[in-house]
Structure 1
Amino acid sequence: MTVAPQFPHQPRTTPGIAAATADLTKVYGSGDTRVTALDQVSVGFREGEFTAIMGPSGCGKSTLLHCAAGLDTPTSGSVRVGTTELNGLGDRQLTQLRRDRIGFIFQAFNLLPTLTASENITLPLALAGRKPDQQWLDRVVAMVGLSERLGHRPAELSGGQQQRVAVARALASRPAIVFGDEPTGNLDSRAGAEVLGFLRDSVRELGQTVVMVTHDPVAAGYADRVVFLADGRLVDEMAHPTPDRVLDAMPRLNGGGR
């Protein structure tokens, strides 16, 4: 299990909503195979805040994350990032929005093995034809402790170091919001705690907005807020979570469904 955070939660003021869903519904299949993954979920993710999404296995956590990040298309309802509604965007516009305003951290790192850490971090910017803000990039690299590893390829890095590269890549373009889908799921407790600490620091020190799916109450304890899903519906939320409070809340959630 991930090591618990060793810092108090700090009260913060947040100027607005980085992303939001309204009556978000996602249905897969039809007839006997129809599955409602999300059932009219309305939730906002505040700027400069670290939000964790939790719930039983198959409750729709990752589906919510993917729809909010523009990686999946809702059946009905709406998603917006800042003031931009995703529903009306074409494929090219959606690709540009994801590239310019959204960072994503996957459980499986998703690094290119032939590129160095530095090249992996700046790859999205290179694909967009943009030069990195070197001062910002230096801050991000220093925060995740990669300054001495930038010339190494993924095979020369530990799992924790590879996920640090993935975190730096997600932050490199200064996105409006960073989404993480079980970003510590493939890491041991020490490496997981480091990555969660970096995400926490990106919120506290860099003003980043982070939304993370996790099943781990200890990981959720790094967040400012936890929202709970069950059977595809938003059923509860908790401010200033601690691992013990989250653990106590989990048995009250309904099981079953997606």
Structure 2
Amino acid sequence: MTAAPLDALASPYPTTVGVAASTTDLSKVYGSGDTRVVALDRVSIAFREGEFTAIMGPSGCGKSTLMHCAAGLDTVSSGSVRIGTTELGTLDDRQLTRLRRDRVGFVFQAFNLLPTLSALENITLPLSIAGRRPDKQWLDRVVSMVGLSQRLAHRPAELSGGQQQRVAVARALVSRPAIVFGDEPTGNLDSRAGAEVLGFLRDSVRELGQSVVMVTHDPVAAGYADRVVFLSDGALVDEMTRPTPDRVLDRMKSLDTRGRTS
């Protein structure tokens, strides 16, 4: 069967041209007085459509906080966050929950699969909750891309860790979200299974036109991305296109040295 053209399978949601998600002067502050901590300090960044972006930086630099705020999982202290053209600060809790369900995909370090459901049922669960039927052509394409066509009837306990994370990747993609966020998605996997999952995320960008943002501490994982952005002390300090693990590692070493001497 000939695959449908990408434009026929594109996300139906409106976006600013070329931008899947963005933040403007985003700040996140925890506590007050002597316990005040600035996790993010006026961060402005655009995550472009059809691009795989990795977020890196020393431990405690704010990279997971940035992802959680950009994905609508955490509130912001000041500034703005947009998914496409939608300003998250204008949404009430119900609208925000619906937006996350319909327009954002998530892949976390923990697979978060329901043990009583088959792989196929886990993949289509977000659509079932939303009362929507999967687009069979898109579902078949996603399942084929992540190599699960022969494992759809298996429950999580019958799958390896790598296969379970493939299910999680397929689940994130099945609703054709505007953007997929991954928080250390290969952190629980061995190097081979991790490489497979990273390859699937990269292929979702190149073959399906997906937009992916991944938080990682691993230079090898970052090497799969199109662009790496670096945070230090809650601020964006650099970015790199066409990254390689060696270049990313060298940049991370300089950030770690700066943190120890500051």
**Alignment TM class, shorter chain as reference:** over 0.9
Q: Secondary structure at the match of 2:115?
A: coil
CA–CA separation in structure 2 for the residues paired with 1:53 and 1:47 = 16
Match in the other structure for 1:103: 105
Match in the other structure for 1:217: 219
Please, which of 41, 55, 58 is the counterpart of residue 57 of structure 2?
55
Please, which of 208, 211, 231 is the counterpart of residue 229 of structure 1?
231
Moved over 3 A (4+): none
Match in the other structure for 1:201: 203
CA–CA separation in structure 1 for the residues paired with 2:40 and 2:177 = 26
2:18 maps to 1:16: yes
Structure 2 letter corresponding to 1:152: H
Match in the other structure for 2:10: none
Match in the other structure for 1:175: 177
Q: Secondary structure at the match of 1:138?
A: helix
Q: CA deviation at 1:30?
A: 1.6
Match in the other structure for 1:91: 93
Structure 1 letter corresponding to 2:20: A
Please, which of 37, 43, 46 is the counterpart of residue 45 of structure 2?
43
2:124 maps to 1:116: no
2:12 maps to 1:34: no
CA–CA separation in structure 2 for the residues paired with 1:166 and 1:231 = 31
Structure 2 letter corresponding to 1:201: D
CA–CA separation in structure 2 for the residues paired with 1:15 and 1:36 = 31
Kindly provide the CA deviation profile for residues 61-81 of structure 1, in whole angstroms up to 9, marking residues without a partner as x.
Answer: 100000000000001110001
Structure with the higher fraction of residues in helix conformation: 2
Structure 1 letter corresponding to 2:259: G
Q: CA deviation at 1:37?
A: 0.7
Please, which of 54, 57, 80 is the counterpart of residue 82 of structure 2?
80
Relative to the length of structure 1, the TM-score reads 0.92
Q: Secondary structure at the match of 1:87?
A: helix
CA–CA separation in structure 2 for the residues paired with 1:239 and 1:132 = 35
2:246 maps to 1:255: no
Kindly provide the CA deviation profile for residues 46-105 of structure 1, in whole angstroms up to 9, marking residues without a partner as x.
Answer: 000000000001110100000000000001110001000001100011011111110000
Unaligned stretches of 5+ in structure 1? 1-13
CA–CA separation in structure 2 for the residues paired with 1:255 and 1:170 = 35
Q: Secondary structure at the match of 2:177?
A: coil
Cα RMSD (Å) of the superposition?
A: 1.1
CA–CA separation in structure 2 for the residues paired with 1:33 and 1:149 = 50
Q: CA deviation at 1:255?
A: 2.5
Q: CA deviation at 1:129?
A: 0.4
Structure 2 letter corresponding to 1:35: V
CA–CA separation in structure 2 for the residues paired with 1:124 and 1:100 = 8
Q: CA deviation at 1:252?
A: 1.8
Q: CA deviation at 1:29?
A: 1.4
Match in the other structure for 1:125: 127
Q: Secondary structure at the match of 1:255?
A: helix
Instruction: Tell me the percent identity.
Output: 84
Structure 1 window deviating more from structure 2 (144-153 vs 28-37): it is 28-37
CA–CA separation in structure 1 for the residues paired with 2:253 and 2:25 = 26
CA–CA separation in structure 2 for the residues paired with 1:255 and 1:24 = 22
Kindly provide the CA deviation profile for residues 217-236 of structure 1, in whole angstroms up to 9, marking residues without a partner as x.
Answer: 11000000000000000000
* Larger RCO of the pair (alpha carbons < 8 Å, separation 6+): 1
Q: CA deviation at 1:33?
A: 1.7
Q: Secondary structure at the match of 1:179?
A: strand
